[in-house]
Each structure stands twice: as structure tokens, then as C-alpha cells.
């Protein structure tokens, strides 16, 4: 036991995403890095994603055998991806002389609700992980999965291995949660969209949450929320170069805040419009209650000024929730006597995020001017104190991101 040591070793949770365990070479590289970390004196818990695009491949297979995606069976299927990686990483660790054992989400004590395909963690009982650490092993945990209160296997939503890693780091009181991925940190825009994007040394939790919520998929939104609530320091870094990356930190009141830190893009949503809605109290409540009962997350909402006693209500939802949203809206449309129900999956969203926006008027005007100079039409707008989002046509998103990145002085020299 480490009790006799005066200096406490750090406990590091290292999460490796799909590309980081994409093939045998990558898995061996991961094993070597874990061995190096251990040789430096730290304890390590590894959390893995499925290899490469394996989760997408499994979803395609499901679609090939059935027109439906029964949620319980989808979870059974998709969790197989992480099971493969955890066993392979554990074997690769053994091959470089690091003793380890792999654990499914259920074995790691990740208890979730019963909401298949997007389950929420209710509780973590990491007894087996603690025992493995105490025995000197490196536990390798399958990300993205848990077991429900009904004893069924669940998944935490796409990108959910980030949540597993942060949740375990919080439960084990780890010193840091390292998210290893295929970029060297969090950038001022998705480097695949804006080639002039710069790596940010530090990002506040507030900014990272806005980025994750508006398309900066480098971290899953729920993992950032979880990390902030439980004060887990997050370090996003590369499993290709191993160089230090970006720290997600509590806001430092003495820090000079950038007005705009990042531009994000998102083409994963669609717009739903209910037209000719009678303009009277309770109608919007009825609509959004139905959507919430159908477990549809609604994002931006716009209601037009009423004309002759009727109005239009538009909102955005994840494309994956579009069918459920349309079904729920049709019930309400008929009940309230609204004239039309339409949807549009050709939209995209560009957003500016920056903690300094709170105290800087003029950002909105400059954003609109920049889009207008490029002839890009704005269809919807939403803001928070540190973010402005515009819905535009999906095929103009890349141009919009690059133009805004340049206009707000974010381009790398
Ligand atoms: P992993 O499989 O490791 O979880 P993801 O594909 O989920 O990796 O996330 C990494 C990707 O996130 C990068 O390849 C990058 O294209 C994308 N990304 C989007 N926005 C950003 C950003 N602001 N900074 C860095 N990467 C970003
Ligand atoms: N394999 C899962 C996915 O592709 C979870 C993850 O990678 O975080 O969404
Ligand atoms: Mg990810």
C-alpha cells in the first residue's frame, strides 16, 4: 500500500477515443504511454472507446437487418465495440509488462437510468476499480456504457466515453482526467473546418460547455457539465504526439477574457415549424410538453409576431430526434387546429463563444455584418451571455465559420 509514502502518487484517468485505439499499432502506442505514465509514479485508470468508426459500422449493420432500432437491442449491440477495445488494450498492456484487467461499464459500477441509447448516470460504485488499483493493476474500463436500475445494459449517448471517464475520475477523486484524441487540444474552431484555427492553452468550463453544446464535438457536453460540477480538471490532448494540450479550468477572475474565443459549427440539427398556430395562452406549453414527454430535446426556439390571431413556432432538434419530434408535433397540431407542420434538415448553425462577450457590445452587429458581406442569410438567432448562434443553410456553414474566424482575429499567424 502507498500509505507509507510521504508523497502521494497522482491518480490519472486516461480516456482514449476511437482513433486513438483505431488499430493494433495505435493500441500498442497507448499501452506504451500508459507504461510511461506508470513508470513516472502515477496510478492510471484507462477508459476506452470502440475502435475507429466501429460504432457507426454496428449501427449500419442494425439498419441492414431491421427498419427499426429497438433501443434495448441497440445498446446490447453497440456496447460490444468498447468491449473489444478494452480487452485488446488490456492484452497490449500485458505485453509491455503492465499488469491490468478490463471491466465493462457494469463491472465498473456505472449505474444508469433506463433511458436506452441516452442513459444518464445515477450512481457510480467503483469498488472493483479501487480493488484493482489497490492490487497494483491498471483497470481498463469500457466507455459509453452502464447497467440500468432494471439490470439492462445501457449506453450514454454518442461520444459518451467522455462521460464515463469524467464520472470515474470524480468518483475515484482522480487528480486529472486526460482526454486523448486525434487533435492536439481544443482549437478556436474545428481544425478540419477552419485550417487557420489555433490551439487554446486554457478554456473555461463555461466556454467549453457552450462550445460542446454548439458543435465543438471534441468533448461531449455532458462530460463538461459533470467535470464542472465535480471539479474534475480536464486535459484534452493528442495520442499521436503526446504533447501537452488544452486545460479546461474554472474561470479565473483575474484573467483577461477574450471577447471571442472560438467559432463552432453544427449540422446535426433540423428545424421544425408549426404554422398557423392560434395565438393564445397554453398553446406553446402544450406543444413543448408533448415534445418533452417524447424525450425530444429542443434547442433554439423562435415564435413570430402574430398576424390575424395566428403565429408560427419554429425550433431545432437533433436530426436523430426528428421523427419523434414530428410525430409529437402532429398530435398537438391536430389538437390545437394549427394549419401546417413542416421540417427542414438542410440547416446548419454557426456560433461565436467567448467569456468576454458579456461586457462587449458590438459582437452581434459584427457577426451579422460578416455573414451579410458573404451573402449568407440568417434564418434564426439565439444568444446566451457568452454565445451568439445563427442558423444558416447547411451548405454555407464552412464558409461562415472561416469568415467569422478571420473577422474576429482568431486566425493563426
Ligand atoms: P474521439 O474519438 O477521440 O472522442 P472525436 O471525433 O469525438 O474524437 O473528437 C475529436 C474531433 O473533434 C477532432 O478530430 C475535430 O475534428 C473535432 N473538433 C470539433 N471542434 C473542435 C475544436 N474546437 N477543437 C478541436 N477539435 C474539434
Ligand atoms: N463509441 C461511442 C461512439 O462512437 C462512444 C465514444 O466513442 O465516446 O459514440
Ligand atoms: Mg469523442
Label residue 6 by pLDDT band (50, 70, 90).
Answer: low
Grid coordinates belonging to 248 = 479546461
pLDDT higher than 90, residue 3 = no
What is the number of the ligand closest to the CA of 47?
Answer: 2
How far, in Å, from the CA of 265 to the mean position of ligand 1?
12
- Asked whether 19 lines ligand 1 (CB < 6 A), one says yes
Nearest CA to ligand 1 atom 4: 17
Label residue 2 by pLDDT band (50, 70, 90).
Answer: very low
Query: Which whole number is the average pLDDT over 21-50?
Result: 98
Of 185, 139, 187, nearest in space to 165 by CA: 139
- Asked whether 158 lines ligand 2 (CB < 6 A), one says yes
Q: In this predicted model, what pLDDT tens digit does every residue of 352-409 receive, in sequence order? A: 999 988 888 889 999 999 999 999 999 999 999 999 999 999 999 999 999 999 999 9
How far, in Å, from the CA of 179 to the mean position of ligand 3?
9
Residue at grid coordinates 449500419:
60
Cβ–Cβ < 8 Å for 167, 173: no
Specify the length of the chain in residues.
Answer: 413
Label each residue of 9-66 as H, E or C.
CCEEEEEECCHHHCCHHHHHHHHHHHHHHHHCCCEEEEEECCCCCHHHHHHHHHHHHC
- Asked whether 50 lines ligand 2 (CB < 6 A), one says yes
Grid coordinates belonging to 130 = 479501487
- Asked whether 17 lines ligand 1 (CB < 6 A), one says yes
- Asked whether 144 lines ligand 2 (CB < 6 A), one says yes
Label residue 64 by pLDDT band (50, 70, 90).
Answer: very high
- Report the alpha-carbon distance of residue 238 to residue 226 in Å, rounded: 22
Which domains, from first to last, does the chain contain? Answer: 11-182 (3.40.1160.10), 269-344 (3.30.70.260)
The residues facing 180 across adjacent strands are 16, 237
Label residue 7 by pLDDT band (50, 70, 90).
Answer: low
- Report the alpha-carbon distance of residue 106 to residue 374 in Å, rounded: 51
The torsion angle over the Cα atoms of residues 150, 152, 101 and 185, rounded to 10 degrees, is -100
pLDDT higher than 90, residue 215 = yes
Label residue 1 by pLDDT band (50, 70, 90).
Answer: very low
Q: In this predicted model, what pLDDT tens digit does every residue of 287-325 receive, in sequence order? A: 999 999 998 999 899 988 888 889 999 999 999 999 999
pLDDT higher than 80, residue 145 = yes
pTM for the full model?
0.93
What is the number of the ligand closest to the CA of 185?
Answer: 1
- Asked whether 56 lines ligand 1 (CB < 6 A), one says no
For a mutational test of ligand 2's pocket, the pick from 15, 49, 59, 119, i.e. the residue with the most ligand atoms closer than 8 A to its C-beta, is: 49
Of 159, 20, 32, 142, nearest in space to 87 by CA: 142
- 394 φ, ψ to 5°? -60, -35
Amino acid at each position: 500500500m502507498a500509505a507509507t509514502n510521504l508523497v502521494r502518487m497522482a491518480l490519472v484517468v486516461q480516456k482514449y477515443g476511437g482513433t486513438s485505439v483505431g488499430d493494433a499499432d495505435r493500441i500498442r502506442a497507448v499501452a506504451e504511454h500508459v507504461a510511461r505514465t506508470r513508470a513516472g509514479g502515477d496510478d492510471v485508470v484507462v477508459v476506452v472507446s470502440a475502435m475507429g468508426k466501429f460504432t457507426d459500422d454496428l449501427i449500419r449493420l442494425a439498419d441492414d437487418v431491421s427498419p427499426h432500432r429497438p433501443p434495448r437491442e441497440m445498446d446490447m449491440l453497440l456496447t460490444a465495440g468498447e468491449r473489444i477495445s478494452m480487452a485488446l488494450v488490456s492484452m497490449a498492456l500485458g505485453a509491455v509488462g503492465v499488469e491490468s484487467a478490463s471491466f465493462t461499464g457494469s463491472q465498473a459500477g456505472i449505474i444508469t437510468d433506463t433511458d436506452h441509447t441516452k442513459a444518464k448516470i445515477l450512481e457510480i460504485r467503483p469498488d472493483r476499480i479501487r480493488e484493482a488499483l489497490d492490487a497494483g493493476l491498471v483497470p481498463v474500463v469500457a466507455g459509453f456504457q452502464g447497467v440500468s436500475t432494471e439490470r439492462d445494459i445501457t449506453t450514454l449517448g454518442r461520444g459518451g466515453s467522455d462521460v464515463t471517464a469524467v464520472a470515474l475520475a470524480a468518483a475515484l477523486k482522480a487528480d486529472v482526467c486526460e482526454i486523448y484524441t486525434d487533435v492536439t487540444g481544443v482549437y478556436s474552431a474545428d481544425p478540419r473546418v477552419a485550417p487557420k484555427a489555433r490551439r487554446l492553452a486554457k478554456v473555461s468550463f463555461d466556454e467549453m460547455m457552450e462550445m460542446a453544446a454548439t458543435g465543438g464535438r471534441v468533448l461531449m457536453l455532458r462530460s463538461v457539465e459533470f467535470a464542472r460540477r465535480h471539479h474534475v480538471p480536464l486535459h484534452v490532448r493528442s495520442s499521436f504526439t503526446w504533447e501537452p494540450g488544452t486545460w479546461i479550468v474554472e474561470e479565473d477572475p483575474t484573467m483577461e477574457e477574450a471577447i471571442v474565443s472560438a467559432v463552432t459549427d453544427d449540422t446535426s440539427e433540423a428545424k421544425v415549424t408549426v404554422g398557423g398556430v392560434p395565438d393564445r395562452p397554453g398553446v406553446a406549453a402544450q406543444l413543448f410538453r408533448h415534445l418533452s414527454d417524447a424525450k425530444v430535446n429542443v434547442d433554439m426556439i423562435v415564435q413570430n409576431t402574430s398576424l390575424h390571431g395566428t403565429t408560427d413556432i419554429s425550433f431545432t432538434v437533433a436530426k436523430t430526434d426528428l421523427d419523434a419530434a414530428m410525430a409529437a408535433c402532429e398530435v398537438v397540431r391536430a389538437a390545437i387546429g394549427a394549419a401546417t407542420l413542416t421540417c427542414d434538415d438542410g440547416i446548419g448553425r454557426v456560433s461565436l463563444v467567448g467569456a468576454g462577450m458579456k461586457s462587449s457590445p458590438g459582437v452581434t452587429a459584427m457577426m451579422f455584418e460578416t455573414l451579410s458581406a458573404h451573402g449568407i442569410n440568417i434564418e434564426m438567432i439565439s444568444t446566451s451571455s457568452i454565445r451568439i448562434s445563427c442558423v444558416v443553410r447547411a451548405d454555407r456553414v464552412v464558409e461562415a465559420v472561416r469568415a467569422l474566424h478571420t473577422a474576429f482575429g482568431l486566425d493563426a499567424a
